[in-house]
Amino acid sequence: GENVEQHPSTLSVQEGDSAVIKCTYSDSASNYFPWYKQELGKRPQLIIDIRSNVGEKKDQRIAVTLNKTAKHFSLHITETQPEDSAVYFCAASGTSGGSYIPTFGRGTSLIVHP
Amino acid sequence: DAGVTQSPTHLIKTRGQHVTLRCSPISGHKSVSWYQQVLGQGPQFIFQYYEKEERGRGNFPDRFSARQFPNYSSELNVNALLLGDSALYLCASRNRGYGDEQFFGPGTRLTVL
C-alpha cells in the first residue's frame, strides 16, 4: 500500500517568513495530492490540492509543487501570519474503481511567532 | 447550507462495549468516508461508501463495520472496544466517488476506559 512521509514534524517561523513542508510517497499510481490545515480542536480543511498532470499550483500565499519522478510534493506558505499556525497534513491517493483511499502524512505543526 | 454533521460529539465507553457513530453528508453528496485520527497523527482511512456500496476498506479489524443508508447518511460501528480505539473519528463527504473535494465533519471524540 501507499506510504507517505512528512517532514518536518514541527516548524517554527517568524511572522513574514516563508514555510516549506515536504512529503514523499511510495506508490507511483497515486495521482491526487491534497493538503489540509487542522486547527486545534477543529476538523481538517482542504487548503490546496494538486493532480499528477500538473507540476505546480498557487493560491495567493500558498503553493504546492509536485515531482512525480522523485515522488515528492511540497507545500509553500509565503508571508506567514500568526493565523497560519496549525497542523498541516499532506495526503496521497490514487483511484481504483471509483474509490478514493487517501494516505495521510503524520502532520507538521507550524508555529508562526508574531 | 449545512456542512457534514456527526453525532455524538463525545462518547465515553468501557472496554468490550459496542459503539455506533453517525454521519450526515452535505446535501447532494453521495460518497461518505470514515477516518480514525489518533492524537498527534494524521487521519487513517477506515471505509468509503459511494451510492450505498462499499468502495474501499482500510487496514482495520473486522470489529469495525459501516453502512450507508438510502439518504446517504452513514453509520460506523465498532464492536468489542479496546483502549486503542480511543481517537477522533472523522466522517467526510464528497459529491462523487473520486475527483471532488472532500469535506470533513467535526468528528466524534471516542474515549475507551
Tens digit of each residue's pLDDT (9 = 90 or more) over A43-63: 999 999 998 888 999 999 999
Q: How far apart are CA B94 and CA B101, in angstroms?
A: 6
Asked whether the beta carbons of A76 and A62 are under 8 A apart, the reply is: yes
Q: What is the pLDDT of residue B15?
A: 98
Given a cut of 90, whether residue A14 has pLDDT beyond it is yes
How far does the CA of residue B107 sit from the closest CA of chain A (Å)? 7
Select from B41, B43, B55 the Cβ nearest to the Cβ of A98: B55
Asked whether the beta carbons of B87 and B22 are under 8 A apart, the reply is: no
E strands of B8-107, at which residues? 10-13, 19-24, 31-37, 44-50, 53-57, 64-68, 74-78, 87-94, 103-104
Given a cut of 70, whether residue B51 has pLDDT beyond it is yes
For residue A88, what are the contacts with CB-CB under 8 A and spacing of at least 6?
A21, A35, A36, A37, A38, A47, A75, A107, A108, A110
Given a cut of 70, whether residue B84 has pLDDT beyond it is yes
Q: What is the pLDDT of residue A111?
A: 98
- B42 lies within 8 A of chain A by CB: yes
- Between strands A10-14 and A108-113, the pairing is parallel
Instruction: Count residue pairs from A and B with Cβ separation < 8 A.
Output: 61
Select from B31, B42, B56 the Cβ nearest to the Cβ of A106: B42
DSSP-derived 3-state class of residue B62: coil
Select from B40, B97, B101 the Cβ nearest to the Cβ of A99: B97
Average pLDDT over residues B19-29: 95
Torsion sign (Cα): A85, B90, A25, A60: negative
- A33 lies within 8 A of chain B by CB: no
Torsion sign (Cα): B79, B82, B86, B92: negative
pLDDT tens digits along A77-99? 999 999 999 999 999 987 666 67
Asked whether the beta carbons of B58 and B66 are under 8 A apart, the reply is: no
Asked whether the beta carbons of A49 and A37 are under 8 A apart, the reply is: no
Q: What is the pLDDT of residue B35?
A: 97
